[in-house]
Amino acid sequence: MTTLIPREPYSAEELARLYPKGLKLQLVQVFLRHGERTPVSSRFQNTGLTPYWPYCGVARQMVQMAASNRDLSAWNGFQWRRKMEALGNNDESVIAVGPGGEIEAMWQVKYAYEQDVLHGELTDKGRETTYALGQRLRHLYVNQLGFLPKIKSNTEDMYLRATPIPRALESLQQAFWGMYPANARTLDFPPPVIVGRSVSEETLFPNEGNCRRFRQLARLFADRAAARWNESEQMAYLNSLWSKYMPETSPKVAVDAHPRLSGIMDTINASDAHGPATKLPAAFYDKKGRAVMDRIAVEEWFAGYAESNEYRRLGIGGLMGDVVDRMVSTAVEGGWRSETSASGSGDPEAGQAIKFALSGCHDTTLAAILSSVGSFQDGSWPPFTSSVAIELFSQTPRGDSDAGTILEEFSNPPVAAKKSGVLSWFGGGKSPSQQAPSETARSPLESFPEDTRESLRKHYVRIRYNDQPVRIPGCADRLENHLPGDDSFCTLDAFKAIVDKFTPKNWQIECTENLGEGLYGPGDRERVPVGF
């Protein structure tokens, strides 16, 4: 499947089951794959496929970043404030600060291209589908659950982040626009902060380009897939369909051909998502052929997460460590605070607890998240505009008048900083380039006192992939690790125990270790089962 066909909104009965009485929603982290785009490379021009795709009709004028309103005949400027994150001494997320203590600067990017779309660029359809995703998020978390307010005056309780790839940033903007269009923002609504990172420190996607050992592992798993599939009956079928369109220099379809099989899939999927002006010959859309191709590509790119703990650590462990840090801060420190997340205004008096995080990323991010916890169940490549929502709940105390509902006060009062150990936003003994993170950031589970562990056991994590709850084996298979009666809810204690096993202590250093060790490094001689 190329374009996601979203399911209908949850019915009242489904909502009651998915958000049960006795649990209160505390934090939501959504990771979205960008919307429909052009191929990342020009391929199959010999079939008549044009290298220039006419699907960016709104780009006929100089504009600010590509955030449109629902009327795609014109763009509105999307103003935003840019902040940067970095990796701290313990590999936790910290705010990147300039030499003079600067934490942000106004950022405006302008495009000057015309109607044709460049390689890998978001198209008009991609803007439409990511805007629609934002509308669906609004319907669930604003209209149905009341978790977020209908009208917003700022984004202090939100965390917006995107990878450095423009299509991810534009998709994030469109999704936010769908959640909070102009009529849902106050007149004095300030430009929201969008968090970014240096490419060398980016963990919001599996970073082959800046992690040498992961790049080596990815190549080894790709080579294994090539050895397994290139001479198979399945590959012979693909050759019967497409070999006549392959270039003379690489006449056979293969995992490691030129173009690679995954590159063929990229062009097929991108073309299938758009109009008749950019279609390949009918043979490329053969249903059986696409299913075979999908199976092989998924194995090539994602089998490592199921088999190798090192692959999990280097590919997605840094991001999953951040995901857990945020939930633990919410559970035991009174909130994941905007002044330690690079997402807020920087006002030390605000102390706002973040309730909703939205990150623009990629198919490889989503599949890695799900695979790393043993939840990539159907094994199909994530369609455009897919999303993973990681939700944190707390048990509602017995006798609480709010029992049976997850509605929260829209005011979201400021969270008081802990008196012991939490350092000031303005330094607190740290150098200007590194502000104080949460006290619990990257702390191993076994270091927590028992009362903290008990608090984690009273909080529950649930992952939804394209609005469907997924099963985490290490939680679902053990009664003490999930909510009684619903094994899709994992205790935060058990979830952290699973993620701790593949959270790197220092990602950048580990990226330079075990070079040349082969498919399985020293730590994987005895396999660590995924999702446990």
Determine the Cα–Cα distance for residues 161 and 354; give it in Å rounded to an integer: 13
Catalytic residues: 34, 363
- Range 232-238 average pLDDT: 98
For 114-139, write each residue's pLDDT tens digit.
445 668 899 999 999 999 999 999 99
Extended beta strands in 22-116, E state: 23-33, 66-68, 75-77, 81-87, 93-95, 105-106
Do residues 331 and 492 lie in contact, with contact meaning Cβ atoms separated by under 8 Å? yes
Question: Which of 5-9, 42-46, 99-103, 143-147 comes out lowest in average pLDDT?
Answer: 99-103
Q: How crowded is the C-beta side of 98, counted as CA atoms within 13 Å?
A: 7
Torsion of CA 169, 10, 468, 441, to 10 degrees: 60
Confidence bin at 529 (pLDDT 50/70/90) = confident
CATH 3.30.43.10 fits 1-31+123-229+308-396+436-532, yes or no: no
Do residues 20 and 371 lie in contact, with contact meaning Cβ atoms separated by under 8 Å? no
The runs of H, that is alpha helices, within 339-437 are 363-372
User: Phi/psi of residue 309, each to 5°?
Assistant: -65, -35
Would you state the pLDDT for residue 79? Answer: 66
Determine the Cα–Cα distance for residues 207 and 39; give it in Å rounded to an integer: 20
Q: How crowded is the C-beta side of 4, counted as CA atoms within 13 Å?
A: 26
For 462-474, write each residue's pLDDT tens digit.
999 999 999 999 9
Buried b (16+ CB within 10 A) or exposed e, 148-167: bbeebebbbbbbbbbbebbb
Name the residue among 341, 337, 366, 390 with its Cα closest to residue 171: 366
Which of the two residues, 377 and 220, has the higher pLDDT score? Answer: 220
Domain boundaries, the chain: 1-31+123-229+308-396+436-532, 230-306
Determine the Cα–Cα distance for residues 2 and 36; give it in Å rounded to an integer: 9
349 C-beta neighbours (distance < 10 Å), count: 8
360 three-class SS: strand
| Percent of the chain clearing pLDDT 90 (strictly above) | 71
| DSSP assigned state of 314 | I
In the predicted structure, residue 20 carries a pLDDT above the cut 80: yes
484 three-class SS: coil
Copy the structure tokens of residue 12.
């009242």
Which of the two residues, 451 and 401, has the higher pLDDT score? Answer: 451
Question: Which of 75-79, 142-146, 180-184, 370-374 comes out lowest in average pLDDT?
Answer: 75-79
What spatial distance separates the first Cα and last Cα of the chain, rounded to whole Å?
A: 30
Confidence bin at 298 (pLDDT 50/70/90) = very high
Copy the structure tokens of residue 371.
């695979």
Would you state the pLDDT for residue 321? Answer: 97
Copy the structure tokens of residue 467.
């609005």
| Percent of the chain clearing pLDDT 70 (strictly above) | 80
289 three-class SS: helix
Confidence bin at 107 (pLDDT 50/70/90) = very low
In the predicted structure, residue 418 carries a pLDDT above the cut 70: no
Name the residue among 370, 332, 373 with its Cα closest to residue 457: 332
430 C-beta neighbours (distance < 10 Å), count: 17
In the predicted structure, residue 432 carries a pLDDT above the cut 70: no
Residues 6+ apart with CB under 8 A from 431: none
For 36-53, write each residue's pLDDT tens digit.
999 999 899 999 998 878
User: Phi/psi of residue 394, each to 5°?
Assistant: -120, 150
Do residues 372 and 311 lie in contact, with contact meaning Cβ atoms separated by under 8 Å? no
In the predicted structure, residue 409 carries a pLDDT above the cut 60: no
In the predicted structure, residue 393 carries a pLDDT above the cut 50: yes
Copy the structure tokens of residue 61.
């004028």
Would you state the pLDDT for residue 57? Answer: 66
Determine the Cα–Cα distance for residues 490 and 456; give it in Å rounded to an integer: 10
Model pTM score: 0.87
Confidence bin at 62 (pLDDT 50/70/90) = very low
In the predicted structure, residue 175 carries a pLDDT above the cut 80: yes
In the predicted structure, residue 343 carries a pLDDT above the cut 50: yes
Would you state the pLDDT for residue 66? Answer: 45
Determine the Cα–Cα distance for residues 489 and 457; give it in Å rounded to an integer: 11
Q: What is the mean pLDDT of the chain?
A: 85
Confidence bin at 64 (pLDDT 50/70/90) = very low
* Beta-bridge partner residues of 468: 465
Torsion of CA 321, 327, 329, 332, to 10 degrees: -130
